[in-house]
Structure 1
């Protein structure tokens, strides 16, 4: 079974959906580590409740991105992590992690990329007045939400939507799509045992 690390910065709803999918057996993976850059993030409590090891760091305590990514990489290696899953991690990855896990890092983004990359994609879509937005799972490269797209799922913007209702439907889609895409990806890459 593949061992994954989830990187998250916030509440961890996608983290939780992935953990629950592994528990149900619909995602054949072991969540071996949570990496978080916010000491007070709710996702840390979720991981602790699940008995999943946590690496929390404050980027401001390091002189460079490479310096804290070296610490992360050391922990990933110690935990035998084979694949990185970004789930609401609000930092761009640098060369240390991108090189060490080339082709083995994915992210989920709350829009139909290439539309609305970056922060507050839901707000961007809502402000733009689009009738359809959605969710994208993509490989991670050095850009902001620019890696090759793996899968997408559309979410209609309803006439009576406000930002919160739209966000709730997008998150519901994410929680279904991400574990399914991860399972398909792990099967297709044949990395369950290498």
Structure 2
């Protein structure tokens, strides 16, 4: 998984990925003064309780309002913003620069010579509620946004992760849905079905969720 880096308009470079494991991320974020959750496919595996597929990167969800604390914790790292979003281009995140509201994706590596190892996903919050960056109608209490694995690692609740995966379902997303579905309780299924009906009416997962 590579991205094009625009180095002040003077050239382009590509960088490989060597993602940290969830355990390594937990060590990295020990003592962090902001909430964080393992996200993406790893979050689904933590909910299932076992690894079952390969991963090309590792996502960590944090809150946009905590960006200054996040930046301080990653002091000394090489951080790049996916900006403009969706273009595949990255630009450096200088210390002290406030993230534009449109930016929700930051790639992290320990040094320019090293591979990318963590992808930070910045989401919104309104008081004690998490608010989806895709649709502000989709919300849940921050207290219910994450869970903690038996290993002590916090991860994004699977129903929330599945909501993000539902927009463009790839083979690995379908596999994640099928593997974690037996682990969702009635409340989690109802929440996911409700937000899919709101944002993606007619989605293929709805029939399964309502059985």
Structure with the higher helix share, 1 or 2? 1
TM-score of the superposed pair, with normalisation by structure 1: 0.27
Q: Which structure's CA Rg is the greater one?
A: 2
